[in-house]
Amino acid sequence: MAEMLRDDIDFNAYMRMTEASVKVREASVFAEDLLKEFQVEEGGQSLHPTITSTKLAGLINFLPGEITVWSGYSGHRKSMFTGQVALDLMAQGQRVLIASMEMQPSRTLARMARQASAKRFPSPKWLEQFNRWTDGRLWIFDHIGRLTPELMVAVCRYFAEELKGQHVFIDSMMMVCASEEHLDEQKQFATDIVRIAQETGMHLHLVTHCRKPNAGDSQRPTKYDVRGSSAITDQAHNVITVWANKPKAAKLELDPHDIKALNDNDAEVSVEKQRNGSWEGAAQFWFDQSSLRFTNSRVEQARPYPVEGE
C-alpha cells in the first residue's frame, strides 16, 4: 500500500545540501539521455510521462528536471484534478509523492481510490488490490500544517535520493511560504525547487492559488493571476490553470432541468505555458461527482484504472 513519509525523519543532511557544485562534462556523457529525447512509441507518441485519462493525453509532458505550476481560485478543484494526474502517472509506472499539508493521508487516499475505481464506494476487495497497486508507485508525506521552505526542499531531495522518486506534488504553496506578501521568500523557494528538479531529475508539481478578481470567480484565470511573486510562473516550465464553472452550478441550483446549463462544461483546464512543449490552449471537461473524475463529455463514463492483477 502507499507508504508514509513521516515528518519526524531526520532531514538535516538533506537541508544542508543546498549548493550544487558546478559540473562541466563532455557532451558524450549525455548520449543515453540524448537518445531518449527522440524515442517515441508507435504512432509517434512521446515516451515521456503525460496525462492519459483525458483529452489532454499527449498534449503536455511532465519532463524530468522540470516544474509544473497548477493554479486556480480557491475551491475550484485543483487538488482533485492533480490527484487524477497523479493516478495517470502511477499507471505509467512513475513513483509519486503527494505532500498535501491540508488533508489527512486517509482522506487523500480515499479520494484517489474513488477516482481510481470510478465508483463512489469501491469494494473492500478492490481496495485491497488498490493498496497492492500503489506499492512502489505512491508515497504520502504524513504532515498537516505549515512547514518551512527548507524542510520542503529537504523532503523532495530525500524522496529523490532515498526512494528514487520521480514526481512530487506540493499542495500547496501557501502551506510552505507564510504569506503572499513575502515575495522574497517565494522567489527563493521557486528558485530552490527549480534547482532541486534539475539536480535530481524529478518533476515537481506546485499547487498555487489565483487572486480572485473583483467581479468574482466566473472569469477564467490566467498565469498572470497567480498569487504572489512573478518568479513562480517565470521560473516554472509549465503553468496550468484549473477553473470550475460556478455560473453553471448557480443556474442549476435555480433550475435543475436547465438544458442549456446541463450541456455546458463543468470545468476548463488551460495550459498557459509549456516551455518545452508544442501545445498551449484550453480544454473543457465535465465532472463526475460519484467518482470525482474529470471526463471529456457529459455522457462519457469514467473508467477504472487497471489495478487488478498487479
Q: Which residue has the cell 513513483?
A: 95
Residue 288 in grid coordinates: 463526475
Tens of pLDDT, residues 245-268 = 999 999 999 999 999 998 999 999
C-alpha cell, 206: 506546485
Per-residue confidence band for 22, with pLDDT thresholds at 50, 70 and 90: very low
pLDDT at 40: 53
Burial class, 185, CB count within 10 angstroms (exposed 0-12 / middle 13-18 / buried 19+) = middle
- Contacts for 103-110 with beta carbons within 8 Å, 24 or more apart? 103/79, 103/144, 103/171, 104/144, 105/2, 105/4, 105/140, 105/142, 108/83, 108/140, 109/2, 109/140
Q: Residue 177: its pLDDT value, please?
A: 85
| Domains of the chain, earliest start first | 3-16+50-295 (3.40.50.300)
pLDDT tens sequence across 93-138: 999 999 999 999 999 999 999 999 999 999 999 999 999 999 999 9
Question: What pTM, to 2 d.p., does this model score?
Answer: 0.88
Report the Cα–Cα distance between both ends of the chain, in Å, rounded.
Answer: 12
pLDDT tens-place string over residues 170-225: 998 889 987 666 788 889 999 999 999 999 999 999 999 998 887 788 889 999 99
Write the pLDDT tens digit of every residue in 158-179. 999 999 999 999 998 889 987 6
